[in-house]
Structure 1
């Protein structure tokens, strides 16, 4: 592979010279520009593997250059050089498509890490699920929704911007995070997943940032935190909304400064890990209620990836069911994989799946254990009656008065929304597109406690 080429744009000649020397020591040839216009001329004439640009240039904004490169030269990762403490600029740059950012005065160690990560993308083409086969993580589905998710994951994998994955429980948020990691510049590093809600509150800080021996009762030796464990890789913070407010402050600093301070330590430790977070809760609502810091939400939600619920993509259910049955059968050794009857497939397709893909797997595992024939039928699925398929106009019983039928439909939809949101009335009302007050009135009228 030929020597890497970098375009460096800044109106400070001294900084340009420093960056040029630093890149040369990394065997990267730098072409420099003092203005936006000069940078654009270089882009037209040369081929670059990386671009570093200042935010404020004499003839425009570095944001404009980021957008132009994203549209015309999407293969070039761009890093923004921001003023010290200007996180708003850094976030704006990454929302515009920047690969990462570095603050002034430039920390050369962080710069070298950034450049190294960016150059790992050189010549790398993300593989599709079919190209990877069954050896790696897969996001199955032929629906338009899943195709959009796969395309977005490919784009997200090419930068370092924090990603916030939303979606109901069981929609595959961790799987999406693993795919972003597997296709990005940190794919050779570790993927470290942590459920923030599963850590005792008095141990959260120690688990995330580590601790020094003797820093608290029970700290019998130094311990690395999960940030350090994920060095060079990806740290996935699942159910980030469950973090205590005090820890949220320290998490914000760790993300902004790219360093952590272990409990009891005097100095911070630099860390290079991509942060991906997720929650099934509505963080905007958590911020409004004072349970989640707005500045942290602003920082982790640079790019949002919403995982669709299974009921939003029913055409994917047959494919998912077939793959899950094959996987479940392989765990049982010699037993051949059973198939689903047409009626069973139809029943699954019409089912609401409040637990999403995880619930589908549980239903199939139970059916596989109880089925005595060679094919799984509707009766073997034991689908809960309260989660019956959504009622269509063709399914309304003509012998029942219209008002009573509508009441049952309304009750079923409200129950589905409540179950999908773990009986969080505020989230359920938002899902149903009604006010919390209206939902409370309907619950009382329908006799739902």
Structure 2
């Protein structure tokens, strides 16, 4: 059995109105009547929202519909609105109606007509259809080009049906997916990273950046890319018109004493010795934009209290001022500390930590993303070539040698991407005719090894055994193996991450790998626990 069409919409108090008596009204295009005059579109029932004061017009419209389409049933739905331009009132009234209405989806097709009604009413109907609270498609009607002639010849205008189920529009769905993929790639600085955990994290950050104004906390070792990612988040938000102000990048580690509050919150003229002029401060400068407070754990407790108020109330007092100033900014905080430990030690306010910890992402170190080292080398080389004004490339042997070292356990990358960027800059600068040779690479490898060398024990670049280990009890082989294991552990924040790095190959052969347990048992052989490792 074919489903019957049910049209939902507003009585057109202007478009459906009768402006001439007698048969003259049929020369005027009236949307709710015209759609019933079509031979190719049959309507079983109409649900028209009306207000009591337009009851006379409503009866005339129903009579005219029954004249051209006697089989169409016309129901009037009373919808009294104190202000038809009040979005909240209109949406609430329509939502309440749709919640109570019995939609018979097995036997009826629903079409929501959005040509009549105020613009507010049309928007509210669109939202209810888009969210499937009204399970229908949209119906748009339009008049013929020349109403006076066309209506006489039977041209009653056009109708267009719009289905908001995007799953039916493969090309559009693919385009929307591509837009999101472009945004994710942008956050990764255009680098085709391979680490699955990192890629998953960036995909979530993209969603958060475009849908939440809440603070974002980025943690990770120095050089892990917190500042770069914060700026990319800002640029993505600005491109999508979520922010209109500036990106303000503040390193809290350089803020000390009375100057810290002044730099952040500003001061009035004469607030203290040396305050010759008024200063707005970084929070005010970031109004309508993004404020990135790197190394936020370095702030003093007084500044933390003031910052909490500014985040929650968007108002604060400049130093020495009795008048509040306002600033609406999104906060991105960066830290290389574990703020949970700082809270327990009394160095960081628990209430501020709770406020900025809504979205927390730990950026992995370069050693935790060794599969991403190669694409980052390519990226850094492109940046350096642009900066130097000449194309620079590796010779084949040089590229293989550098990559082998970069991926090996010898490459500690303690400074993370800063170390990598500096290394590529040195190679490119010294490369004759823009070709990086094997000799240059070998010299750079030695330079990096020296950079990461343990100053107190130059023979052991990363061998450091805890005091609990009785060195005399173990063979040199065992001590060297343990030292290397501990070196890897010190590059990771927890037992699970270190275990995955250490057993990355053998774990693939296990049905249920338990990296944490394997590492825990290995350490126990030497009388060690994870807490004994100086991470």
**Which TM bucket (shorter chain)?**
0.5 to 0.7
- Residue 360 of structure 2 aligns to a residue whose secondary structure is strand
The answer to whether the aligner puts 1:404 opposite 2:467 as a matched pair is no
Q: Specify the alignment match of 1:233 in structure 2.
A: 289
- Aligned ranges 1:18-37 → 2 under 5 Å: 31-33=90-92
Q: What is the match of residue 436 of structure 2?
A: 375
Match of 1:115 in 2: none
Counterpart among 144, 149, 166 of residue 219 in structure 2: 166
* 1:277 alignment counterpart: 333
Q: Name the structure 2 match of 1:348.
A: 406
Shift of 1:127: 4.7
Match of 1:384 among 439, 449, 454: 449
- Gaps in structure 1 of 5+ consecutive residues: 1-19, 52-68, 70-123, 392-400, 422-426, 444-449
The Cα of 1:267 is off from its aligned counterpart by: 1.7
* 1:159-308 alignment, distance < 5 Å: 159-184=212-237, 185-308=241-364
Q: Aligned partners of 2:496, 2:259: CA distance in 1, in Å?
A: 34
> Against the structure 1 CA distance between its residues 206 and 441, is the aligned structure 2 distance closer, same or farther, given a 3 Å change threshold?
closer
Check conservation: 1:165, 1:307, Cα contact below 8 A.
yes
Structure 1 residues 367 and 277, CA, compared in 2 at 3 Å: closer, same or farther? same
Contact 1:371/1:380 (<8 A) preserved: no
Q: Is the 8 A contact 2:191 2:379 kept in 1?
A: no
List per-residue Cα deviations over 1:49-74 (Å, max 9, x = no partner): 999xxxxxxxxxxxxxxxxx9xxxxx
Contact 2:191 / 2:375 at 8 angstroms: preserved in 1? no
Q: Is the 8 Å Cα contact of residues 127 and 183 (structure 1) preserved in structure 2?
A: no
- How many residues align? The count is 334
Contact map agreement 2:291 2:332 (CA 8 A) in 1: yes
CA deviation map 1:251-282 (0-9, x unaligned): 11111111121111112112110011010100
Question: CA–CA distance in 1 between the matches of 2:100 and 2:360?
Answer: 34
Distance in structure 2 (CA, Å) of the matches to 1:203 and 1:293: 20
Q: Is the 8 A contact 2:246 2:287 kept in 1?
A: yes
Cα drift, residue 346 of structure 1: 1.7
Alpha-carbon offset, residue 361 of structure 1? 0.9
TM-score (norm 2): 0.53
SS state at 2:334 partner: strand
* Conservation of the 8 A alpha-carbon contact between 2:373 and 2:407: yes
Name the SS for the 2:271 alignment partner. Answer: coil
- What displacement does 1:409 show? 3.0
In structure 2, the CA distance between the partners of 1:442 and 1:139, relative to structure 1 (3 Å rule), is closer
Alignment-derived partner of residue 328 in structure 1: 384
Give the deviation of 1:407 after TM superposition: 1.3
Q: CA deviation at 1:342?
A: 1.4
State how far apart, in whole Å, the 1-side matches of 2:124 and 2:368 are: 42
| CA deviation vs aligned residue, 1:274-332 (integer Å, no higher than 9, x gap) | 01101010000111111111111001111101212111221211111012112112222
Normalised TM-score (structure 1): 0.63
RMSD (Å) for aligned C-alpha atoms: 4.4
Q: Find the aligned partners of 2:349 and 2:126 in 1 and give their Cα distance.
A: 34
- 3-state DSSP of counterpart to 1:304: strand
Q: How does 1:58-73 map to 2 (within 5 A)?
A: none
Distance 1:286-1:333 versus aligned 2 partners, 3 A rule: same
Contact persistence 1:139–1:175 (CA under 8 A): no
- Select which of 309, 329, 340 maps to 2:365: 309
Residues 40 and 162 of structure 1: CA distance in aligned 2, closer, same or farther (over 3 Å) = farther
In structure 1, the partner of 2:45 is none
The residue that corresponds to 1:147 in the other structure is 199
Unaligned runs of 5+ in 2: 1-81, 104-111, 113-121, 132-175, 454-459, 464-472, 499-515
